[in-house]
Amino acid sequence: MRAVTGAWRALPGRQRLMLAGLALLLVLVQVKQPFPATAPLHHLPTLTLLLAAPFLLRRRPLSDPALACIILFFVLHTVGGRYTYTYVPYDGWVRALSGHTLSEMLGWSRNHYDRLVHFGYGALAIFPVREALRRHAGLSPRTSLYIAVESVLAVSALYEIIEWLVTLTMEGSVATDYNGQQGDLWDAQKDMALAALGALLAAGALAMRRMNDGRDEGRLRLRPDPLHGEGRE
C-alpha cells in the first residue's frame, strides 16, 4: 500500500487529476450497467492502466500532453465499453441538442462509434509513443515517428486477432455484442484502416510542426543583431 501511495504522490498534480478523472468515469459507467456480460472485457484494460500508470510514469515519465492523449483514448473506450460500442446512444445525445440525429443527417445505417474510437486510437497514440521513444530510447525524431506509426498498425492488427479469438470462447449473443461487427463483413479491415488513417494524419501534423519549428529557429539565427549587425547564433 505504501508503494502505491508513494507512486501516486510522486506524479505531477495534473497527471493525478487526469487519472482520477478516468477512474471516476470508470466507476460511473458501471451504474445500471446495460451489458454486464461484456462490461468486464471492455473495462479491464482501463482498470489495468489505472493500476499500473503510477508505477510506469514514475519509472518512465511522460509529459502532460502525452498522458492526456492516452487518457482521452481511454475515455472514448470506456464510454464505448458501457454500451458495448454497438449501442452508444450518440443519436439520442445529438437529437437532444439539435433535434436531429447524426444517422439521419449522414445517412448511416449502423452505429459508427467504434469507427471513431479506432480512428482516435491511431491519432492519439502517435504523440505519446513518439515521445517515449525519444525520451527513453534516445531515438531521433524521424525514427521515433516512423516506429510510432508502425506500432499503431501492428497493435491495431493484433487487437483484431485477439478480439476474434476471444469471441470464439463466448456464447453467440454475448460474442456478437462484444465483437460489435454489426453485420459488416469487412469490419476488422475498416477498423484497421481508420486506425492507420488517424496515425498517418497525426504523424503528418507532427512532422509539419517540426519543419515549421526548424524554419522559425533558422529565422532567429539569421535575424540581424542590433548591436553587432550580424545574424544570431
* Of the candidate ranges 75-79, 111-115, 153-157, 159-163, the one whose mean pLDDT is the lowest: 159-163
pTM: 0.86
Residue 185 has pLDDT above 80, yes or no: no
Residue 1, pLDDT score: 63
C-alpha cell at 183: 453485420
Residue 1's nearest CA partner among 51, 49, 67 is: 51
Neighbour tally for 99: CB within 10 Å: 7
Q: Where are the domains positioned within the chain? A: 10-48+62-222
> What number is the average pLDDT over the span 67-95?
95
Residue 55, pLDDT score: 93
Chain mean pLDDT for the chain:
88
- Compute the distance between CA of residue 120 and CA of residue 199 in angstroms, rounded to an integer: 9
Residue 215, pLDDT score: 59
Q: What share of the chain is helix, strand, coil (3-state, %, to 5)?
A: 75, 0, 25
Q: How far is CA 11 from CA 24, 63, 204, 213, in A?
A: 18, 11, 31, 30
pLDDT, one tens digit per residue, over 139-164 is 999 999 999 999 999 999 999 898 88
Give 233's pLDDT tier (boundaries 50, 70, 90).
very low
Residue 210 has pLDDT above 90, yes or no: no
Residue 177, pLDDT score: 67
Residue 220, pLDDT score: 46
Residue 175 has pLDDT above 50, yes or no: yes
